[in-house]
Copies of this chain bind each other. A is one copy, B any other.
């Protein structure tokens, strides 16, 4: 475990967020952030019991003031620690419906979770990541979770796609601005159903084994992205089950 470095995962629920927190906890104390305590409570315990260090923080990333308070609390909890990795894995609320049945709130919800949340999260984490550049073994990294809807506006997925396209735009722009300063920003297009408890009823790809993305596999790729030296940064990769049509 590197001393004096920590990681933070926003959107630390049962799937990718949990797996990424567990993976990064092998190397760093990890802050798990979610709106509700229930989302991260069990994972915090799991990490702690395994001998790692985990801190849960409740915050609403779409609310810039809530986020500033959360980062103040984190600073008190981990004084002198620098930020090695920040993962933005927040799911936006979204509604899949014929366009003419959507309400303006449906678009707002998607934009809030997908774009405004990342904006706020990046404004709070990038100064910390920059500050860690001289000391972090691996380039300080901002990892952003995307989806099929990040690159494709399907029928009836317009509001989801609007948010996810916007999220990808921000990640790309941040990469272009901060890569030269040593902070690595990568965006992953998760193209398929993630194998989480609440997706159990959904037999993706005909129910074939490994037809859904294992959160642990995603986490391993996130860890790889974090460890890439600055001479060879990946800005974007896709991840999908072997049987996924694309």
Contacts and interface: CB of A to CB of B under 8 A. Distances in A.
Interface of A: 64, 98-100, 102, 104, 107-108, 111, 115-116, 119-120, 122-123, 126-127, 139, 149, 152-159, 161-180, 182, 184, 195, 210-214, 217-218, 220-221, 224, 227-244, 246
Contact of A99 (B122, B182, B246): B122
A98 B123 CA distance: 11
Q: Name A's interface SS.
A: helix
Nearest to A162: B166
Nearest to A98: B177
A231 B246 contact: no
A235 B232 contact: no
Given A123-B99, A155-B177, A156-B177, A232 B246 contact: no
9 tightest CB-CB pairs across the interface, nearest first? A153-B172, A158-B173, A217-B232, A153-B173, A161-B169, A237-B237, A165-B169, A155-B176, A165-B165
A45 B181 CA distance: 39
A139 B173 contact: no
A246 B235 contact: yes
Contacts of A123: 99-100, 102
A210 to B, nearest CB: 4
A230 B158 CA distance: 22
